[in-house]
Amino acid sequence: MARGKLSDRQSRMVEFIHNFSRDNGYPPSIREIGEAVGISSTSVVNYNLNRLVEEGILDRDQNVSRGLRLTEKLARASDRLAEVIRVPLVGRIFASEPVLLPSTDSPMFGADEAIDIARGLLTEDDGLFALQVKGDSMIDAMVGDGDIVVMKRAPDWSNGDMVAVWLSDREETTLKYIYREGRKVRLQPANPTMGPIIIDDPRTLEVQGKVMLVVRRLN
């Protein structure tokens, strides 16, 4: 798509059409577009609309009032199916306690809160749950107080995953990158200035979930 070539007028037209359609439920007329972007002549609006059609940004229906719609990325409802995944917010995560895992059978049940995640941010959509971090104990994973961690129930992990682990001998939950190294396991903090933890006995380690996403809301 050769879209860097839009003139200032054309950009404003596209933006106006988008906003108008969103606000009113139907597209603007040629004269409404003209008034919005400061064009007195309907023929000029018509001319630029046809340019936008050539650019592939717009579709038009001839001889139909308001017969235009934006294409592609600003597309309409039909393309927007299942764009949002609702992930249940099942609890909080402390350093001092194991992760409270949701019951396997009905993940949505019992959670009164949930968080919406756009589908494009996730590679999978099954077995997901979210936890809110409490306290500053996960700072070495660059995860702070109040951050939301979206995890996937993943009994079997693979090298390089960031996981939530419960270390039974230390009685501690942490978020680390995990690597298998022979019989041992290496837990690597996300903060590159910090050193790894080597777990000699893998039985003291329980992987409770694979971190898929971290979200921090401000204000």
Active site residues: 137, 176
Q: Which amino acid is at 205?
A: L
What is the secondary structure of 66-132 as a DSSP string?
T-EEE-GGG--GGG-TT-EEEEEEEEEE-SSS---PPPSS-TTTT--EEEEEEGGG-S--SSEEEEE
Neighbours of 58 (CB within 10 A): 22
The entry of a second copy, DNA, none near residue 121 (CB within 5 to 8 angstroms by kind) is a second copy
Contact between 142 and a second copy by CB under 8 A: the answer reads yes
**Residues numbered 2-21 forming contacts with DNA, rule: CB under 7 A:** 7, 9
**Tokens, residue 170:** 């230390």
Indicate which single residue of 143, 187, 199, 205 sits in contact with a second copy (rule: CB under 8 A).
143
**Tokens, residue 171:** 């009685």
CA atoms within 13 A on the CB side of 74: 16
Nearer to DNA (CB atom), residue 7 or residue 191:
7
Contact between 168 and a second copy by CB under 8 A: the answer reads no
Q: Which stretch binds a second copy (CB under 8 A): 38-46, 118-126, 178-186, 199-207?
A: 118-126
Nearer to a second copy (CB atom), residue 56 or residue 201:
56
Contact between 106 and DNA by CB under 7 A: the answer reads no
The entry of DNA, a second copy, none near residue 60 (CB within 5 to 8 angstroms by kind) is DNA
- 6, 55 contact by CB (below 8 A): yes
- Backbone phi, then psi, for 43, in 5-degree steps? -65, -30
CA atoms within 13 A on the CB side of 1: 12
**Residues numbered 36-95 forming contacts with DNA, rule: CB under 7 A:** 39-44, 46-48, 51, 60, 62-67
CA proximity to 107, closest of 150, 160, 52 = 150
The entry of a second copy, DNA, none near residue 136 (CB within 5 to 8 angstroms by kind) is a second copy
**Residues numbered 182-201 forming contacts with a second copy, rule: CB under 8 A:** 190-193
Contact between 7 and a second copy by CB under 8 A: the answer reads no
The entry of DNA, a second copy, none near residue 115 (CB within 5 to 8 angstroms by kind) is a second copy
Indicate which single residue of 35, 36, 46, 86 sits in contact with a second copy (rule: CB under 8 A).
86
